[in-house]
């Protein structure tokens, strides 16, 4: 079953240095969806260690739960965030939401 449009929760504004949690979830898809996050239409790597962009290293992304956690946000984390739920039957994307730091 193709995933439904996921529900995305993105904080509107986060003070510099604070943590922020972004959530993405849908429960119609079967098999269970995996989640990927995008900032300004650029994919965020689930593994920050191998990322070529070291300034992105302040987050943890869990593809199984759809949770994206910034441990200490900085100005560079400001942007439009969206999430895609994917399974064998297809994918669905939530609306982009702005997060300001």
Per domain, the residue ranges of the chain are: 7-99
Per-residue pLDDT at 92: 98
Quote the pTM value.
Answer: 0.88
Per-residue pLDDT at 64: 96
Phi and psi based region of residue 63 (left: phi greater than 0; alpha: psi -120 to 50; beta: remaining): alpha
Per-residue pLDDT at 51: 46
**3-state secondary structure string across the chain:** CCCCCCEEECCCECCCCCCEEEEEECCCCCCCCEEEEEECCEECCCCCCCCCCHHHCCEEEECCCCEEEECCCCHHHCEEEEEEEEECCEEEECCCEEEEC
Per-residue pLDDT at 56: 47
Per-residue pLDDT at 3: 98
Per-residue pLDDT at 46: 78
Residues of the chain with pLDDT under 50: 51-52, 56
The CATH class, in words, for 7-99 is mainly beta
């Amino acid at each position: 079953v193709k995933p439904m449009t996921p529900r995305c929760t993105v904080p509107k504004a986060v003070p510099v240095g604070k943590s922020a949690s972004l959530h993405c979830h849908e429960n119609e898809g079967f098999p269970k969806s995996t989640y990927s996050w995008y900032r300004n239409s650029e994919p965020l790597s689930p593994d920050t260690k191998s990322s070529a962009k070291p300034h992105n290293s302040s987050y943890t992304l869990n593809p199984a739960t759809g949770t994206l956690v910034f441990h200490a946000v900085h100005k560079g984390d400001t942007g439009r965030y969206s999430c895609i739920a994917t399974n064998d039957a297809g994918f669905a994307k939530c609306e982009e939401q702005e997060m300001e730091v």
